[in-house]
């Protein structure tokens, strides 16, 4: 019975990602990039409204790895119906301790990163950028994600 109650709570906060995109990877919660987007995808996954989006994916794992937490742990926090602020507080008290300066430096580096710079991801990224009309050599991961969301929900 308690599980049904917590799931209802998390459902009411869930976006329908078949109708709208999750928040931008740039949207910061605290000083963390990716967190707001991960929360939207996680809640939508729990609600069954994730559409083409995936929770606990390689992008989410950039955040999880930085903090030293697992997707299953985060899923449990999301399923509890925690607010954005409660999830932020959980991240700040779990996993590897990080100073505000470390979080800001990680966020800046992550926001500036490009899969084009990684030989293992380059071919995939080039194809994805071409599909969206972007120059892969000049496109960051966040620019790619934002443009993919924009084109996916163009009216």
DSSP annotation of 22 reads: P
> Considering the chain, what percentage of its residues have pLDDT values greater than 90?
90
Confidence class of residue 116 from pLDDT cuts 50, 70 and 90?
A: very high
Residue in the structure block whose two tokens are 């329908």: 16
Q: Give tens-digit pLDDT for 64-107.
A: 999 999 999 999 999 999 999 999 999 999 999 999 999 999 99
Average pLDDT over residues 116-139: 97
Q: Which string of DSSP letters, residue by residue, matches the chain?
A: -HHHHHHHHHHHT---TTTSPPPPTT--BTTBSSHHHHHHHHHHHHHT--TT--TT-HHHHHHHHHHT--HHHHHHHHHTT--HHHHHHHHHHSSS---HHHHHHHHHHHHH--GGG-TTTHHHHHHHHHHHT--GGG--HHHHHHHHHHHHT--
Q: Give the 3-state secondary structure of residue 29.
A: strand
Confidence class of residue 27 from pLDDT cuts 50, 70 and 90?
A: very high
Confidence class of residue 4 from pLDDT cuts 50, 70 and 90?
A: very low
pLDDT of the residue at 12:
73
Average pLDDT over residues 13-39: 96
DSSP annotation of 28 reads: -
């Amino acid at each position: 019975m308690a599980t049904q109650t917590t799931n209802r709570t998390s459902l009411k906060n869930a976006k329908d990602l078949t109708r709208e995109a999750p928040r931008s990877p740039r949207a910061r919660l605290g000083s963390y990039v990716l967190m707001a987007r991960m929360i939207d995808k996680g809640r939508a996954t729990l609600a069954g409204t994730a559409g083409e989006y995936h929770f606990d994916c390689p992008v989410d794992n950039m955040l999880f790895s930085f903090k030293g937490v697992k997707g299953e742990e985060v899923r449990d926090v999301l399923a509890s119906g925690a607010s954005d602020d409660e999830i932020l507080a959980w991240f700040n008290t779990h996993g590897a301790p990080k100073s505000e300066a470390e979080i800001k430096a990680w966020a800046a580096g992550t926001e500036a990163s490009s899969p084009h710079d990684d030989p293992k991801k380059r071919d995939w990224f080039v194809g994805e950028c071409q599909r969206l009309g972007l120059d892969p050599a000049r496109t960051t991961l966040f620019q790619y994600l934002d443009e993919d969301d924009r084109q996916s929900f163009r009216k």
